[in-house]
Amino acid sequence: MKEVYNFGAGPAMLPRPVMKQVQEGFLDFAGLGVSIVEVSHRSKQFEALLSETDELFRRVAKLPENYEILYFHGGAQMLFSAVPLNLMGRKPKRMAQYVETGNFSQIAATEAAKFGRIELAASSAANGFAEIPKIIPVDPEASFLHITSNNTLFGTQYKEFPKTGEVPLVVDMTSEILSRPIDYSKTGLVYAGAQKNLGPSGIAMVFVRKDLIGHAPKDCPKLLDFAVYRDNHSMANTANTFAIWMINLVLKWLEGEGGVEAISKINSQKAAVLYDCLDQSQFYRPVAHKEHRSLMNVCFNLAQEDLLADFVAQAQKQGLYALKGHRLVGGARASIYNAMPLAGVQALADFMKEFERTKG
């Protein structure tokens, strides 16, 4: 099969060695002669896999002991509901602050408003979401402050997280989890849908400070209550065995590559190749302002917009797949998550230069 580099924003490219392991190991989990999708989640083999995955997360993410790891159903947007449900009642005002930096932060805030009062702490809407707000005032009365650390659609990223003092910082890290070192002790809760840097879609990871669990209302649906996940090792109902197996393999791959610090250096190199290509050109126009650029989603427009469809089609012919920007934003987007090798990014930069030479 011809080598294809997948620049899709999610579900996204996963490490090729992991994909091969999945293919080879699909029919026989842990030597049982049955597949991971057939084995009981209560079997000692699966429970061992889950515990091993916890240990891998703790090691790879350098997650402190006072944080619980939850495997959450429904992907990242399920956390748009679960976070306010679980945390809003911590303070009598039932108020939370949200920072608006793109469509996912907007959807998160709209959903949270069903469970309490939402205050917009800051917004970059006036700048077309091309940057991250520089000043984020924190209200000590807030139950939590929510940010989206990497904006998948507009290609912006917080270089540093806001300091929120006693107010728990909640971070949606869906499109950058484990792509760079993070001091989790400065956060209250981090969540991420798996489908970019961890595994298949439909499952999300939650790293949550232990004292923030147990504040859900009595009528909270069972599978949205963090305490239920904690008390049942994320197996109050049938766990997503296949996704957890893949996440386990991706974490082992990441550790084998040198861990988060090593991948973070490669991620910076990859992004630099593309941003240099954009900055040296009059033909391509980067979306995000320089100091807020994402290392994961490189978004750009073509000066001649009518060439976009041709750009995307020609790229695909050369094995550079899914470069079309999000339908709400337009333009082009190269998503270069952990699994994208430097060679893929170089192939894209070469293609872009050649396209500009011939069409510009």
Ligand X SMILES: Cc1ncc(COP(=O)(O)O)c(C=O)c1O
As annotated, the binding site for pyridoxal 5'-phosphate includes 104, 152, 172, 195, 237-238
CB of 83 to ligand X, least distance (A): 12
Interface mask (CB under 6 A) for ligand X, residues 152-181, using x and -?
Answer: x-------------------x-xx------
CB of 331 to ligand X, least distance (A): 17
Closest CB to ligand X among residues 22, 76: 76
Q: How many residues bind ligand X (CB under 6 A)?
A: 12
Closest CB to ligand X among residues 29, 104: 104
Using CA atoms, how far apart are residues 86 and 92, in angstroms rounded to an integer? 14
207, 194, 295: which is closest to 247 by C-alpha?
A: 194
Binding test (CB under 6 A) with ligand X, winner from 148, 164, 248, 338: 148
Closest CB to ligand X among residues 283, 297: 297
Interface mask (CB under 6 A) for ligand X, residues 287-326, using x and -?
Answer: ----------------------------------------
CB of 150 to ligand X, least distance (A): 6
Closest CB to ligand X among residues 192, 302: 192
Within 10 Å of residue 283's Cβ, how many Cβ atoms?
A: 18
Strand-pairing partners, residue 69, are 207
Query: What part of residues 190-219 is at the interface with ligand X (CB under 6 A)?
Result: 193, 201
Scanning 25-33, 75-83, 266-274, 277-285 for contacts with ligand X by CB under 6 A, the matching segment is 75-83
CB of 104 to ligand X, least distance (A): 4
> Residue 76 interacts with ligand X (CB under 6 A)?
yes
Interface mask (CB under 6 A) for ligand X, residues 95-134, using x and -?
Answer: ---------x------------------------------
Scanning 73-81, 209-217, 262-270, 335-343 for contacts with ligand X by CB under 6 A, the matching segment is 73-81
Binding test (CB under 6 A) with ligand X, winner from 21, 35, 43, 77: 77
Q: Which residues lie near ligand X (CB under 6 A)? A: 10, 75-77, 104, 148, 152, 172, 174-175, 193, 201
